[in-house]
Amino acid sequence: MLKEVVIFATLLAIGCSHDSFRVTFQWKYINVTWPSVEAKEKALKRFEYIPANNGITGIKIWKGQMYLAIPRFKTGVPVTLAVTPAVPETIEVYSNSGPIKFNITEPKLRPFPNWEMQEIGDCGAFQFVQSMEIDPLGRMWVLDTGRVHTMTLNPEANCPPRLVILDLENDGAVLRSIVFPPEVASRETVFLNDIVLDHEDGGYAYITDTSEQDPGIIVYSLRNNTSWKVRHQSMRAQEEATHFMVGKIHVNRPIHVDGIALSPASVRERIVYYTPLSSFYLYAIPAAVLRNRTIEVNNFVRELGRKSSQTDGIAMSSNGILYYGLLADDAVAYWNTSHRGNSGYQSPSFATGQRIFSRDHLLMQWPDTFAFDEEGYLWCVTNKLQNLIANRYNISDDNFRVIKSNARARNYQYYEDGSAPVLPTITAGADKVGFALGTCLTVLLVLLMK
């Protein structure tokens, strides 16, 4: 009892209290709501659906719906963006002793917005969705790398990398489709990994590109419909961190800048936090520096401190708590940034302020991506990605889990009281001419290179 009191007092002292993570959903393998039984059988026969090649990465919650990203790392992934209710469906079965209720915690996923938007080779459809973000007006900003089968010897770069904005209040209608130019994101090597949204100065998105050849943070200006890439040595993999072990599987590959987070809306001078997956360090840079494409960033990047393990996704709450996974430790940790002042770099330091929130060597292998819902819960996908990398997914085991904890906060886009700032307007179709021109230029460049 004394130990529990001490732990709770410590959490209050650092401004952070949580419930334990609980498993809400778990899947042995991913299945979808097929148009028909015949369609599923056809996909299986043609190897267009290979259950062991489907893995969940991104997660976002909006108005009782859970949106999930299923990247096309390998062949046989029919759906790359999907949705299912965020509350498990309850069914009632009758027995001799009366009705028995069961929760369906392994639901089939529905393609989002529809099947047509999942077509491989159709550059108007989603090709490879790794992550997305939803703003407080229900607009989903989706990253589409454009390449497919990126973990195979023959990746296909049939479509350009782009950012697609969907209107969740209008059945996922496309509001914008922004193609990144080749100097920002090369279609042959790009890997659009994660995204945060900044609603200042007309609206910006900060996107990590985990490209093997040209990693960096892509900055997109909504107001000007322009993009550029910020590059720095801190965004590259570090040799000491390329080797680690998860679930007795050895991972050995250099993975560049990956997780990204933004300080909450209530902070006057906002900070962007990031880390390569193959790194033990957390870095930060003022958002204002990223927004100014003429500034040399070298003088503004800060190394905040060392973590105990490599990290995939990171996330910020509205009250300034930074959450991040520790891959080799099967754990989720956090750091309270709210005591650091508006400049973002005061004590307590990351090195002394970070804490382990939850550790479970069975349930929490590879904590990948986080999300917050309207009720203040923190959601996390754990996906045993080490098994997909090593071709070791066993569809008889529980491979994918969605776990959640009551963090008593919303995400970084909100003020601490739960209200949202004024957001920029996005008019449907406003960029069609620019999009068409960008697409034509991309096609022309490809033809010239042949």
Residues 436-449 have a mean pLDDT of 41
Which residue's entry shows tokens 């914008």? 176
* 110 Cα distance to chain centroid: 19
247 φψ region: left (φ > 0), alpha (ψ -120 to 50), beta (else)? left
**Is pLDDT above 70 for 446?**
no
In percent, the amount of the chain with pLDDT more than 70 equals 87
Cβ atoms of 227 and 195 within 8 Å: the answer is no
Cβ atoms of 264 and 414 within 8 Å: the answer is yes
Q: How far apart are CA 246 and CA 384, in angstroms?
A: 8
Output 3 or 425, whichever has higher pLDDT. Answer: 425
Q: Which of 246, 244, 248, 194 is nearest to 216 (CA)?
A: 194
How confident is the model over 271-301, as pLDDT tens digits? 999 999 999 999 999 999 999 999 999 999 9
Output 18 or 257, whichever has higher pLDDT. Answer: 257
Domains of the chain: 2-449 (2.120.10.30)
How confident is the model over 189-247, as pLDDT tens digits? 999 999 999 999 999 999 999 999 999 999 999 999 999 999 999 999 999 999 999 99
3-state secondary structure of 426: coil
Cβ atoms of 421 and 381 within 8 Å: the answer is no
pLDDT at 98: 63
**Is pLDDT above 90 for 25?**
yes
* 275 Cα distance to chain centroid: 13
pLDDT at 432: 44
pLDDT at 8: 34
Handedness of CA 13, 16, 18, 21 (dihedral sign): negative
Q: How far apart are CA 311 and CA 351, in angstroms?
A: 15
Q: How far apart are CA 64 and CA 142, in angstroms?
A: 19
Q: Which long-range contacts (CB under 8 A, 24 or more apart) does 436-444 make?
A: 438/160, 438/178, 438/179, 438/181, 439/123, 439/160, 439/179, 441/181, 442/160, 442/179, 442/181, 442/182, 442/187
pTM over the 0.95 mark: no
Residues with Cβ within 8 Å of 220's Cβ and at least 6 positions away in sequence, in order, are 163, 178, 204, 205, 207, 226, 227
Question: 151-160, 171-180, 340-349: lowest mean pLDDT where?
Answer: 340-349
